Amino acid sequence: MSGPKGQIVVIDDDEGNRKSIEMALRKDGYHVTSFSSGPLGLEHLKENGADLLVTDLRMPGMDGLEVLKVSKLVDPGLAVLVITGFGSVESAVDAMKQGASASVSRRPWRNAGWRRRCASSGSAWKRSSPSAP
> Which pLDDT tens digit goes with each residue over 87-111?
655 666 666 666 666 556 555 555 6
Helix H or strand E encompassing 83:
strand 79-84
Task: Report which DSSP code applies to 8.
Answer: E
- Residue 131 is predicted with a pLDDT of 37
Domain ranges within the chain, ordered by starting residue: 7-122
Q: Which architecture does CATH list for 7-122?
A: 3-Layer(aba) Sandwich (3.40)
CA dihedral sign, ordered 62, 99, 85, 20: negative
Residue 43 clears pLDDT 60, i.e. is over it = yes
Residue bearing the bigger pLDDT, 64 or 108: 64
Are 132 and 51 a contacting pair, CB within 8 Å? no
Confidence category of residue 118, pLDDT binned at 50, 70, 90: low
